[in-house]
Amino acid sequence: MDHDEVPPVIRSLFEAMNVHDADAAAAVVDPNIEILVGPHVVTGVEAIREFALQDDPALRVVNTVSSCEERDGKLQVNVHRVTHWRESGELSSEEDLIMSFTLTSDGRIGWARIA
Q: What is the pLDDT of residues 6-41, one digit of tens each?
A: 999 999 999 999 999 999 999 999 999 999 999 999
Question: DSSP for 55-103?
Answer: --SSEEEEEEEEEEEEETTEEEEEEEEEEEETTT--EEEEEEEEEEEEE
**What is 8-114's CATH number?**
3.10.450.50
Question: Per-domain residue ranges for the chain?
Answer: 8-114
Full-model pTM: 0.91
Model pLDDT for residues 41-59, shown as the tens digit of each residue: 999 999 999 999 999 999 9
